[in-house]
Each structure stands twice: as C-alpha cells, then as structure tokens.
Chain A
C-alpha cells in the first residue's frame, strides 16, 4: 500500500499572506523513491483551462521507502484564494514522488482575514446602461 500524507500543524488550513505554513509529511512506498519533494503551490479551476504555479519546493534528501519530514514555507503576498463564477484559485501543499507519479496533498486557504475571497456575487447595474436607456426612451 502506497501512502503519502501532508499534515498541517494544529490541523490549521487557513492563513494570512506572509504567514508561515508548517507541518509534517510522511510516506510509505513499496521501494525507495528516486526523489521526493514537498511543494507549496496554487492552482486554478473553473471555466478556463487550469493554470498552476509551484511557489516553493523542499526536496527530501536521499529518501528511504518510508519516513517523515517537517516542512516550513513562508507564504507570498498573493495571490489570494478566491472563488468566482468563472475562476477559482486554491492553495495546497503536496508531497510528490515525481518519478513514481504519486502524491499526497493538503489544501489550504490564503487570504485577508484567513478567508477565501468571494467574487461570485452579482454587481449593481451599470449607470452607463441607464444613461443609454434614458436617452433611447
């Protein structure tokens, strides 16, 4: 049984930009992986093609078939986690064995007040449209 897990300290999964994300990764593979990496990254989902960016990487030195490691990342000032009707952006920490193509992940939220920014509400109507309507009538 192959397992890769990422645990954030205190079970916390919401952070302010600039805060430290700390925790522990553990793995149990059938054989020692060629390499093992802990990655901090963001990714988009929604209507558009998905984008992602790996912001920071900690490489596990000479990994055995099983083991554990503590990690610590400092979050950048952005982008915030947000959710819209077309685009959603989320953050995660992932433990990856690239050559074996396996991973374990923990999602997190990065934003002001440690909340995801919601941009899915409808805006008020445009006054310009009102101008055009009033001229037309």
Chain B
C-alpha cells in the first residue's frame, strides 16, 4: 500500500495570512527573478557561442596540417604563462555555389599542452583528405572544422532550478490559501507523489556530493599526474624566463609560478612551461616569489621529463602540502554519499509502511536493525546494538529475540571529545583574556570584564567536567539482553551482566521510561519539549550480590503506547541503567528501545 507523509507548520492545517503570503511571495519571486535573469543571460551567451551548430554540414578538402610550437614563437613572458603550448593549424578548402573557398578556422579548441596531443589531433587531418566541416549558410566564405561541445547548456539547469523553486513556491503559497465554499471544509490530508520526498533528499545530497567532487578536481589532476610521473626521467634544463603571474578575480588576486625552460631529450630540444603538477593559481605571493628567485633566467636546473611524450616536463614533481586541502571538499562528498545512502534506506522502510517506527527498528536490514537506536549525553553513555546478536527479522520486520545491547560509544571517545571541547572553548576565551590584560582592561573596564564572566564560567565548568569524564572511563560496563522484542502487555526477560569493578556499586537501578516528545518552530527557533509518561522500575537493589548480573521481567501495560516517530512528534521508550558509586562518577547509561504494536509482534503485516 502506498504511504505518503506530509508535515505542516500549523496544527490546524490552516493557511497563512495575506501578509504572510505577500512576504512569502516576495521571497520566492526573488528566487524566480534571479533564476530567470541568470538563465536568460547564460542561454543568450551559449546560443551565440553555438552558432556553428546552425551551420550546414559540408565536405572540406585538407590542404595541410601542422603543429605550431608556441613556446618557441611567443615572447618568453607570454610563453611562460600560456596553457596552449602547442597549437593545431589546419588549412582546408570547400566548394559552395560553384565557387571554391579556403580557410584555416578550426572552430573549437586547437590548443594543447603537449606535442603528443597536438600531433595526434593533426593526424586526423592528413593532406588531401575529405573531412566533415560546417559552412555558414549566410556567408559561404565562413566555415569551421569543429563545433563547440554542448555540455555547457547543462549548466542552465542551475538557474532554472532557482526559477522553478521560486515559481513553484508562489503557486503553492496561493493555492493553499483558497477558501473552501460554504458546506465544505479544506482538506486536512495532503498527498505527495510516492517517493518524492526521498527523491528530493537524494537529489540534495547528490548535489552536495557533486559539488564536493567538483572542488576536488583541482586536487585530483595533480594527484593523477604525480602518480603517473613515477617513471619520468631527469634531464638538465635551462631557465629561459621566470616570474610570478598575478590573476585578478572579482574579490581577490591569485598568483602562479610562470616558468619557461629548455631541455634536451633524445637529441631534440624542447621547451616546457609547467613548474609543478598543480593547476590554476592560488593565494600567497611570497612563496611563489621565493621559487622564482631561486630559478632566475639562465639558471641551470633539472627537469622531470615524460619519456613517452618528451614535450611534457615539470621542474618540481612533489605534491606539496596543498593536497591536504582536498580533505575539505572530501567532507562534502562524504556527507553527500552518506546522506544519499540513508535516504535510500529510509525509503525501504517507507515502502514497508512502517516508517512511523523509530529508525532501525524495522528496516529489514539484518541483525543490527534491532530495537536499539540509542541516545545519551553528558555523562550518559550510549549503547548500541551488537552486530550479530539477534536472528533474522520476521515477515513484519520485527527482529527475533534475543536482543543484546552493549556500550556502543567508546568512553575514551567521549572523554576525548570532552577534553577537546574544554581546550577549544578555554583556548578561545583565554585569547580574549590575555588581550584584555595586555590592554589593561581586565578588572578595570567593568563592562568588558562582566561580559566575559559567563564565558569564563562555562570554561571552568568544562574543565571541571574533564576529570569527571576521565574517572567515568573506568566505570563497570553493562551488557543487557532482552529475551524478545518489547510490546504492550508482553512480558520480556531482561538480563544484565557487568564487567569491570561492579563491586564498587552501592545501588543499581534498571528502569524503562516512556517519553513523549514534540518539536515546534517559532520564528527561526526550533524547540523540542519532552515529558515522561511512564516509568517502570525493573530492578532496584542495594544488595551487592545481586548487582553484577541478574535477570528480571519487564511487563509493559497492555494499554500503553508503542514507539512512534514522525518528523516532529515522537513516543520513545528508554532503558535507564543507573549505578550509584560512592565518591566516583555514577554509571548512567541509556538505551532507546523499540516497543512494537501487538499486531506486529503477533506477526501482522502491513496493510493492503
């Protein structure tokens, strides 16, 4: 059966006021105008650039093809900076309306970084060959051999996406607000296309991953070149010209090492202008100036030469520390891939019609998808489902017992995170304190000193919690097992076992709590309120002999609520383990439990 979920911002399903609609419309119209404006500009530019696609195909006879070595012919300063070290030159002729025309316009491309690439392109135009060309029907004297690639038109999708978002927003806003006629009410239910939300999430995360991958390209090329240069050979080289190139952008200027050098290989003289494997330019002028100062014109050095295409060479083939910056877009790629995977997995649960059960409860994903999506904070440790602890899932997606819970989050990890937070916070605060002290404002400028007090207090609190977290690392660890999944009115055996110095505990409490949770937005603030509605103490003893391990029954009331989650509302069940240790941080663990509706535990399926 199809399932559709919608979240509305109002509790009554009402529509926004006219002022709200106008404000919303303004917001969406800005998007639409921006998208349409930019889209129109791009489209016009691309249309002009793609003029040769509207020209007529014809046959041209090649008169000659050659490779121009620009690095020998251009002025040294220009040659050092050009990206097209080798240029393809083709002369050809064609007949039109009884007349013969001649030309040498390639139409697209024609510049190459290596002689090998350019020679390969020239081989496509042997003298005397008939090749496809394109003639301007309005001017038969104009022709090209190549037409520009059309992939750039795909970029139009970005501004058009903005425009669609803006127009769609305005339409939705005003459609939603229509007043129903007398005798009827506005619909409370809203239906969306099946899988639309999931598709949208996958698309958003996909864009994230693509952006990340796009920003990784400047790092990927140098890396690939570096890996491919392992068998390159060294050759003596002479610097012909060197300098720092400045490239002015819209908001900053970037710099590059521009270098022209000459070397010999296989008895032939070559020139190259690549200093290292990085592409483009970057900020930081001083570093580049130092390189140039070390390699002035006339200096003797060594070049790394590609023996397969000796026109390709580089002076410095190390990657440099800049490669570590690739980790930044790498994070985007990671978020995108993880997000897409999670969205697709969530779609599987939605397809089963059980997405109101907490995540992982009925995903049908094997043993790890037991009733243990776990939460904790501060000194509360998280527990996680132990892989391979439970058997297969039933047809209804309910895991078969027993279910084992073990600490999932390393206490060492929690301590390190706490330590990092304390050092980070206090590091920043101390910068301000030292600065105020050096300016003589500390304790003298009352207002500024008072402003810093809460920040200092938070820092002290964090520092004091560090030893607490350190000691908590050595607390006994608990492993809890449920004989079967929990359900209202179903008795379940709960067994526990401590490892470590459990004899230090003075009292142990195991209890199950039911909580309701509501999240709402007011303006830009999102608030979540929680309330405990049920509390069942499964074990409470100060008998040292009973604490290290034991078993008890958990019986939830038959008329209580099962676990439930939607976007903003939840009913959760939690196992609380509290061990009281004198003069030491207490054990305070929590594990989220999934309580299944009776019909699911009885093997009931999804509706048809």
**Do A and B assemble together?**
yes
- Minimal Cβ-Cβ distance residue in A for B558: A112
Q: A54-B4, A119-B516 are in contact. Are A105 and B185 (CB under 8 A)?
A: yes
Instruction: Report the bound CA distance from A127 to B571 in whole Å.
Output: 22
**Whole-angstrom distance from the CB of B520 to the nearest CB of chain A?**
5
Is A96 interfacial (CB-CB < 8 Å)? yes
- A87 x B1 contact (CB < 8 A): no
| B residues in contact with A127, CB < 8 Å | 509, 511, 537, 540
Interface code A1-36, partner B: CB below 8 Å = 1, 0 otherwise?
111100000000000011000000000001000000
Interface code B531-575, partner A: CB below 8 Å = 1, 0 otherwise?
111110100100000000000000000111110101111110000
> Which listed residue (A18, A43, A126) contacts B189, Cβ 8 A?
A43
Instruction: Report the bound CA distance from A104 to B188 in whole Å.
Output: 9
Instruction: Report the bound CA distance from A128 to B180 in whole Å.
Output: 54
Q: A49-B567, A104-B184 are in contact. Are A79 and B597 (CB under 8 A)?
A: yes
**Whole-angstrom distance from the CB of A49 to the nearest CB of chain B?**
4
- B2 x A56 contact (CB < 8 A): yes
| Chain B residues bordering chain A, tally (CB within 8 A) | 78
- A87 x B6 contact (CB < 8 A): no
Is B604 interfacial (CB-CB < 8 Å)? yes
| A residues in contact with B338, CB < 8 Å | none
- Minimal Cβ-Cβ distance residue in B for A78: B597
Instruction: Report the bound CA distance from A117 to B563 in whole Å.
Output: 12
- B186 x A49 contact (CB < 8 A): no
| A residues in contact with B511, CB < 8 Å | 126-128
Is B607 interfacial (CB-CB < 8 Å)? yes
- Minimal Cβ-Cβ distance residue in A for B519: A48
- Minimal Cβ-Cβ distance residue in B for A47: B518
- B509 x A112 contact (CB < 8 A): no
- A52 x B520 contact (CB < 8 A): no
- B356 x A78 contact (CB < 8 A): yes
Interface code B570-608, partner A: CB below 8 Å = 1, 0 otherwise?
110000101010000000000000000111100011111
Is B190 interfacial (CB-CB < 8 Å)? yes
Interface code B164-195, partner A: CB below 8 Å = 1, 0 otherwise?
00000000000100101111111111110000
Is B13 interfacial (CB-CB < 8 Å)? yes
**A:56-75 near B, CB below 8 Å:** 56-57, 73-75
> Which listed residue (A3, A18, A43, A86) contacts B516, Cβ 8 A?
A86
Q: A123-B532, A135-B580 are in contact. Are A48 and B520 (CB under 8 A)?
A: yes
- A53 x B558 contact (CB < 8 A): no
**Whole-angstrom distance from the CB of B196 to the nearest CB of chain A?**
13
| B residues in contact with A77, CB < 8 Å | 396, 597, 599-600, 604-606
Is B318 interfacial (CB-CB < 8 Å)? no
Is B402 interfacial (CB-CB < 8 Å)? no
| A residues in contact with B186, CB < 8 Å | 101-103
- Minimal Cβ-Cβ distance residue in A for B507: A131
- Minimal Cβ-Cβ distance residue in B for A122: B533
Instruction: Report the bound CA distance from A92 to B189 in whole Å.
Output: 9
- A2 x B187 contact (CB < 8 A): no
> Which listed residue (B183, B353, B561) contacts A76, Cβ 8 A?
B353
**Whole-angstrom distance from the CB of A34 to the nearest CB of chain B?**
13
**Whole-angstrom distance from the CB of A8 to the nearest CB of chain B?**
16
> Which listed residue (A54, A118, A123) contacts B190, Cβ 8 A?
A54
- B580 x A51 contact (CB < 8 A): no
- B519 x A49 contact (CB < 8 A): yes
| B residues in contact with A79, CB < 8 Å | 356, 562, 564, 597
- A84 x B516 contact (CB < 8 A): yes
Q: A3-B183, A74-B607, A121-B533 are in contact. Are A51 and B567 (CB under 8 A)?
A: yes
User: Taking beta carbons and an 8 Å cutoff, which residues of A are in contact with B?
Assistant: 1-4, 17-18, 30, 37, 39, 41, 43-57, 73-80, 82, 84-87, 89, 92, 94, 96, 98, 101-105, 112-113, 115, 117-121, 123-128, 131, 135
Pairs A–B under 8 Å by Cβ, sample size 6: A17-B604, A44-B569, A48-B520, A102-B187, A119-B534, A123-B533
